[in-house]
């Protein structure tokens, strides 16, 4: 049976897309902790270079995939909420993961919006006593001091994910945990969601 040329072209396109998806998934699962961080930083720089042209929404869309692929946002949300996590319903937990994911992407889209010659550099890597990895890097900024970024990663289902970032010795996770658990305990779940959504709107402006 002869296949019309149009159908052949369609099959080639579909096959190509399928192979690319399969390869991307395989590459993501086989990536080392260092590769996860290096790829993420490369994506951040790409967005920064087109920051003004993309605008906030454009930067958000570009960073959404990069962050979801490199960060374990479910783990991060659980750690941020701490002991209070077990007191939340499954629906509340999912709501928090969704909102916290949006907040994380929005924060990157807001803070990494311009490029003036910055560059990320890998310094070293080390294993943690609990089987994780820490990737030590720094960001050089023309006419300014460099910023150190230490990425803590854990492996889940054969894939490394970022669970914390320490910038110049300050843990992003620790700051958020201190702030959010206080709101949750003193003002309740609904108020925490409201505060997180307010932050997202602030970044969007």
42-63: pLDDT as tens digits: 999 999 999 999 999 999 999 9
Q: How many domains does the chain have?
A: 2
* Token duo for residue 79: 């750690």
Question: Is there a contact between 138 and 119 (Cβ–Cβ < 8 Å)?
Answer: no
pTM of the model: 0.82
pLDDT, one tens digit per residue, over 74-88 is 999 999 999 999 999
Cα dihedral 67, 73, 75, 76 sign: positive
Say what percent of the chain tops pLDDT 70. 85
Domain region containing 152? 32-204
Rounded distance between C-alpha atoms, residue 194 and residue 200, angstroms? 10
Rounded distance between C-alpha atoms, residue 173 and residue 150, angstroms? 12
Same domain, yes or no, for 98 and 2?
Answer: no
* Token duo for residue 118: 């910055």
Residue 124 scores a pLDDT above 90 = yes
User: Tell me, what CATH number does 93's domain have?
Assistant: 3.10.450.710
Same domain, yes or no, for 2 and 89?
Answer: no
Section 24-36 average pLDDT: 73
Same domain, yes or no, for 86 and 131?
Answer: yes
Same domain, yes or no, for 2 and 76?
Answer: no
Same domain, yes or no, for 104 and 23?
Answer: no
pLDDT at 47: 97
pLDDT at 53: 96
Mean of the per-residue pLDDT values for the chain?
Answer: 88
Same domain, yes or no, for 63 and 16?
Answer: no
* Token duo for residue 186: 């003193």
Same domain, yes or no, for 135 and 189?
Answer: yes
SS3 content of the chain, % helix, strand, coil (to 5): 65, 20, 15
pLDDT at 141: 96
pLDDT at 29: 58
- The residue among 14 and 7 whose pLDDT is bigger is 7
Same domain, yes or no, for 14 and 58?
Answer: no
Q: Strands, E, within 29-158: which ranges?
A: 119-127, 133-140, 147-156
Collapsing DSSP to helix, strand or coil, 63 comes out as helix
Residue 9 scores a pLDDT above 90 = no
Section 151-171 average pLDDT: 96
Same domain, yes or no, for 21 and 57?
Answer: no
pLDDT at 11: 35
* Token duo for residue 195: 């505060």
Same domain, yes or no, for 90 and 182?
Answer: yes
Residue 12 CA neighbour count, 13 Å, CB half: 7
Same domain, yes or no, for 77 and 121?
Answer: yes
Same domain, yes or no, for 24 and 36?
Answer: no
pLDDT at 102: 97
């Amino acid at each position: 049976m002869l296949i019309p040329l149009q159908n052949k072209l369609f099959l080639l396109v579909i096959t190509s897309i399928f192979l690319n998806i399969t390869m991307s998934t395989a590459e993501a699962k086989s990536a080392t902790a260092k590769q996860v961080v290096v790829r993420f930083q490369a994506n951040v720089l790409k967005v920064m270079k087109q920051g003004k042209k993309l605008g906030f929404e454009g930067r958000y869309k570009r960073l959404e995939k990069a962050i979801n692929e490199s960060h374990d946002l479910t783990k991060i949300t659980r750690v941020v909420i701490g002991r209070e996590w077990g007191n939340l319903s499954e629906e509340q937990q999912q709501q928090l993961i969704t909102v916290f994911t949006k907040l994380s992407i929005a924060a990157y889209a807001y803070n990494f919006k311009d490029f003036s010659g910055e560059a990320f550099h890998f310094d070293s890597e080390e294993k943690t006593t609990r089987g994780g990895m820490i990737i030590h890097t720094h960001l050089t900024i023309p006419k300014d001091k460099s910023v150190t970024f230490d990425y803590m990663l854990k492996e889940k289902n054969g894939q490394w994910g970022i669970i914390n970032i320490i910038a110049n010795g300050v843990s992003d996770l620790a700051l958020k945990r201190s702030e959010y658990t206080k709101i949750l305990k003193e003002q309740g779940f609904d108020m925490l969601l409201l505060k997180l959504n307010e932050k997202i709107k602030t970044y969007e402006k």
